[in-house]
Structure 1
């Protein structure tokens, strides 16, 4: 226990356990500091789960940047949490994440998701532009209207109004990637159009083709018949 606690940086109610490559939150952190910690920094580890947060009942700020947190992320209910930074993790499903945060962090005001695929920021996603990022902001604010600060920018009144009006339709959807050539089906290389039946297309296997026509033409509407009298036939 003493050895583990020596790795913890303690400053009043602020706890830091940074860069120790842990995959789960160590039990001793919750047992020792959970009842009074207000700020917890677990950056630069290899966290895949935050289940150990259930002991941090008074937590107000949580920093878990540079970890391995994915779409299965689940937080315990943290009614006092107002700041959450999840930068540089492996989050891709923005809608599921926001719905979960809306349920378990009702006091959240500051959120940062930079460095995740779920956040289409041009600095980390060269294929995205400012319009993509702005739509993302509208969608986040639609789901979490109480936010005052998102990523690196303060939330403006104009953004809040736009999010209320159109945020539900602003989800940035990543287009499906095209199938590799070796996995593409036959429909990916359509045959050129020809009016002839398939059996007559192979020049090396030529044979006649017979068919029936459903229509009979009597010549009543022929353009030529309009200018020929019966006595001229």
Structure 2
């Protein structure tokens, strides 16, 4: 009598279990890559880690790196990353290489205020406004690469980045010039542009973009009540004409003319050799009103 074995109840399909372990495997592979790098560099404590070289590891996700509090240099280029949520607490990071990945958002980047170099070229960033907003807090950022991202297709992309991130000195490998900064202000800040154009001879002119301001009436200083246009002269009537001449003469400006009689000034020989006295020279002063 032949017997047949019945399948064991409770065994899970191998394909299902491998699918369920996929997220775990991605993080575990990054953990293993980090441990291998630490052994290779001879690091024994997390506090001693200043740099990590994790490029070309086929990483799709990375474990939280907050344990490396003094991490300053991180290479993650040429992987398959889609975000950077694992970097929100690495405040000492100064150089970050994320180029040649599949990153489509950079949420959390604004916390890395010590960043000096940031390479994000060859990724999938599409939202220009969100990208710039996330980078505005990077007060030390000087080198930035964003080329070969979909957001680079926007019109005036380079000038937009230059205007909203004025601290960046090198964008996409090229130095930002003064001309580009002026063009960026002209395009994206009309009010400031008009103010700069209205400055003449060291004085600022009110030249706002409100067209009604062109018709504002200018204010003038108030004139004295007894002011007479064209002839600002006191026109008090005197009974005696001589009194009028006297009063008018007192209001005239005074001019003094002084002349010196050089014949009374001794020469050098007369003064020192002949021993003549030093009498004051004769002067004639005439005062006119």
Q: 2:144 aligns with which of 111, 130, 137?
A: 111
Aligned to 2:36: 6
The CA RMSD over aligned residues, in Å, is: 2.6
Secondary structure of the residue that 2:96 maps to in structure 1?
Answer: strand
- Show the 5 A alignment for 1:52-91: 52-71=86-105, 73-91=107-125
Q: What TM-score comes out, normalization by structure 1 length?
A: 0.58
2: CA distance between counterparts of 1:117 and 1:77? Answer: 24
Aligned to 1:50: 84
Secondary structure of the residue that 1:119 maps to in structure 2?
Answer: helix
Q: 1:18 to 1:3 in 2, by over 3 A?
A: closer
Q: 1:56 to 1:112 in 2, by over 3 A?
A: same
Secondary structure of the residue that 1:111 maps to in structure 2?
Answer: strand
Unaligned 5+ segments in structure 1 are 121-127, 170-233
Q: 1:164 to 1:21 in 2, by over 3 A?
A: same
**Larger-gyration structure (1/2):** 2
2: CA distance between counterparts of 1:51 and 1:24? Answer: 9
Q: What is the CA deviation profile of residues 27-46 of structure 1, one whole-angstrom value per residue up to 9, with x for unaligned ones? A: 3x442xx2222111111111
Q: What TM-score comes out, normalization by structure 2 length?
A: 0.48
Displacement of 1:167 in angstroms is 3.5
Say how many residue pairs are matched. Answer: 153
Unaligned 5+ segments in structure 2 are 1-30, 43-48, 191-289
CA contact (8 A) 1:62 1:84 kept: yes
